[in-house]
Structure 1
Amino acid sequence: MSTEEGSHSTEGMYSRLVEDGGTGADEEFGAQPAPSSTGVRGRLAHHGPYKVATACLTAFCLILLMALVAISVHYNRRDTASMDQNSLKEKNRELQNEIDQLKTKLEKLETTPTPQPVQCTDDWLYFNGSCYFISMFSHRWMESQKYCEDKGGHLAIIETDEEQTFLWDKLPRGHWNSYWFGISDEKVEGDWYWVDGTKLVRGFWEDGEPNNHVNEDCAYIVKTKVLSRVAFKSWYDAPCSMSIPWICERKAAK
C-alpha cells in the first residue's frame, strides 16, 4: 500500500469517528459512556427525599432530647424543693421540741428554791441553815453541851415540826435509843428553857411527860424499834447526870 492510500484510509476513519460522535471508537476500545448531566440530576432527584427525611428525623430527635432534658431538670427541681421543704419541717419540729424542753427546765428552775451555799463537814448534817451532829458516844447533859460549844454550836434547839421530823428520821432505831438536846428546867421546875435562854413554847412530849419522876431536869429524844411510836411524841425528861449520846447544832457557814 502506498503512503497516499494509507493517508486516505486514516482520514476516512477519522471522518467516521467525528460523524458518529466517537461512539464507535469507545465501543471498540471498551470505554464506558460518560454520564450525561441529565443522568446526574436524575439520581439526585431520586435520593433527595431520603436526605430530607433523615434531616427531619435528626431534628426531631434533637427536639425530643431537649424536651427530655427540660422535663428531667423540672422534676429534679421539684423533687429538690420537696426535699428541702420536708427538711425544713423536720428542723422546725426539732427546734420546737428543744424550745419546749427549755421552757420546762426554766419552769422547774423558777419553782425550785435557790439552794444557799453552806459548809457542813462530812459528819454534820445540813437542814434549813443549820448543821447537826449526832454523836455515837455518851456524855452527861452538861458535858454534851460543852462538847457542842467547843465545835462552835450548842445542844440542838428544836422548835418546828420540820426540824423535829428531820432529826427523828436521822436517828437509828434501837431498843431505847435516846439523845440529849438543848432544853432543861434546872433553874425553875416546870419552866423549860433552851440553851440560848429562850423559853419553850411548844414541845413534842410523850403522853405523860415531862413527869419529873426522880429530879428529871433535862430532856432527851427517844427512837425505838416500836414502829407505832411517832416523832411528835418522843420527848422525855431525865436526870441530867445520865450518860447518853447527844445532838449538836450550829449555824451553817455561808
Structure 2
Amino acid sequence: MATTGSSSTDRIYSKLIDEGSYDQSNHRTDVQHINYPVSPVRNPWLSGPGPYRFATICLAALSAILLISIIAVTARNKNKSASGVEATAEMQRQNANISAVMQKLQSENKQQQKERDELQKERDALQKERDALQKERDALQKEKDELQAKLDSILTTKAITPTPRSTAVPIVCPTNWHLFENSCYLITAQNRQSWSGSNRYCQTQGAHLAIILTAEEQTFLWNLLPRGHWNSFWFGITDGETEDEWKWVDGTPVEGGFWEENEPNNHINEDCGYIVKTQVLERVATKSWYDAPCNMPLPFICEKEMRSTSQ
C-alpha cells in the first residue's frame, strides 16, 4: 500500500513540471524546462528530522512510561493483595482472641450472676429471720412493759417493807483443825489407833472419820498430810459388813472413790480404807486409797461438820 501511494505522487509531480512555466508577478515570461531527477517520497513519520519524528518519539516514550506505570501499579496491587491477605489473617486472629475473651467474660459474668443470686437468697433469708426476731423482741418488750406496769401498780397500792438481812458469822475451827467448806478436819500424826478406835476418838471430839466425796476435798486433805516412806491415815470407809460393799461411817454407800490402781484387793482380809502419801512425787491425790486390815494402828483423819450461825 505504501509503494502505490508513492508512485502516484511522483507522476503528479513530474506532470506539473513538464507542463511549462507559470507567471510570477509578470516579470518572467518563459521558464526554461529543466528535468529534475525524481526521488521517491519518503514517509514523513520516519524520514529525517521533523515534527513527525519527534511526535513518534514522544508517543514511544509515553508508551514506555505507561507500560512501566502499569507494571508498577500491578506489582503494587500484588503487594497490597499480599498485605491484605496478611492483614485479613491477623484480623481473623484478633477476632478469634476477642471472641475467646468475650466467651470468658460471659462465663465469669454468669458465675458472678449466680453468686449474686445465691447471696440475694441468703440475704432474704437473713432478713426474714431478722424480721421474726424483731417481732419476737417487740412481743417480749410489750410483755415486759405490761409486767412493769403491774409492778408499778402494786408498789403504788401497797407499801413494801424490806426484810432485814441476816449477817452470817464465819465458821471458826478449833485449834489444830483445818477448815474446808463447811467442815473442820483434824490430822492426828502421833495418835495411832485401829480403824474402830480412830472412829471412837473422833466421836469424842464431836466428829467422825473423814467422809471424802469430791476431788477438791480429797486434794485438800492430801496436801495436809506429811510425806514419808509409807505415811498412811485412816478415813471413814469400810466393807466390814459385806465384802466389796464399801460404806461410809454414816452408812451411806461409797460411789466411785480415789483408789490406787488394782485397789481394793482384799489381800489379807483388808476391810478398812486408808490414804497413803509417800516420798514418790509422781503419786497423785486422786489415786491414793488402799484397803488394809482394820486392826492396824495408824494415824487418822477426823471430820466435824460445822453450821454457820446468823445474827
The TM-score range, normalised by the shorter chain, is 0.5 to 0.7
The question of 1:134 aligning with 2:152 is answered: no
Corresponding position of 1:252? 306
Corresponding position of 1:119? 172
Aligned partners of 1:220 and 1:233: how far apart in 2? 12
Which one of the candidate residues 234, 239, 244 is aligned to 2:288?
Answer: 234
Amino acid at match of 1:164: Q
Aligned partners of 1:206 and 1:172: how far apart in 2? 18
Deviation at 1:253, TM superposition (A): 4.6
Q: Which runs of 4+ in 1 moved over 2 A?
A: none
Corresponding position of 1:60? none
User: Are residues 115 and 166 of structure 1, via their aligned partners in 2, closer, same or farther at CA, if it must alter by over 3 Å?
Assistant: farther
Deviation at 1:121, TM superposition (A): 1.0
Corresponding position of 1:144? 198
- Asked if 2 retains the 8 angstrom alpha-carbon contact of 1:159 and 1:202, the reply is no
SS in 1 for 2:198: helix
- Asked if 2 retains the 8 angstrom alpha-carbon contact of 1:120 and 1:253, the reply is no
CA deviation map 1:107-149 (0-9, x unaligned): xxxxxxx986102112100001000000022100000000001
SS in 1 for 2:197: helix
In the TM superposition, 1:1-254 aligns within 5 A as 117-136=170-189, 137-254=191-308
TM-score of the aligned structures, taking structure 2 as reference length: 0.44
User: Are residues 184 and 122 of structure 1, via their aligned partners in 2, closer, same or farther at CA, if it must alter by over 3 Å?
Assistant: same
Aligned partners of 1:252 and 1:172: how far apart in 2? 25
User: Unaligned regions of 5+ residues in structure 1, if any?
Assistant: 1-113
Structure 1 window deviating more from structure 2 (117-126 vs 157-166): it is 117-126
User: Are residues 173 and 117 of structure 1, via their aligned partners in 2, closer, same or farther at CA, if it must alter by over 3 Å?
Assistant: same
Amino acid at match of 1:122: T
Aligned partners of 1:175 and 1:210: how far apart in 2? 21
Amino acid at match of 1:200: V
Aligned partners of 1:188 and 1:229: how far apart in 2? 30
CA deviation map 1:151-191 (0-9, x unaligned): 10100000101000000011011110000000000000000
Aligned partners of 1:230 and 1:162: how far apart in 2? 13
TM-score of the aligned structures, taking structure 1 as reference length: 0.54
SS in 1 for 2:298: coil
Aligned partners of 2:203 and 2:226: how far apart in 1? 24
Aligned partners of 2:205 and 2:175: how far apart in 1? 14
Aligned partners of 1:135 and 1:201: how far apart in 2? 26
Instruction: Give the alignment's Cα RMSD to 1 decimal.
Output: 1.4
Amino acid at match of 1:212: N
> Number of paired residues?
141
User: Are residues 188 and 119 of structure 1, via their aligned partners in 2, closer, same or farther at CA, if it must alter by over 3 Å?
Assistant: same
- Asked if 2 retains the 8 angstrom alpha-carbon contact of 1:217 and 1:240, the reply is yes
Amino acid at match of 1:193: K
Give aligned-pair identity as a percent: 59
SS in 1 for 2:295: coil
Look at both structures and tell me which one has the larger radius of gyration over its CA atoms.
2
Aligned partners of 2:256 and 2:206: how far apart in 1? 26
Larger RCO of the pair (alpha carbons < 8 Å, separation 6+): 1
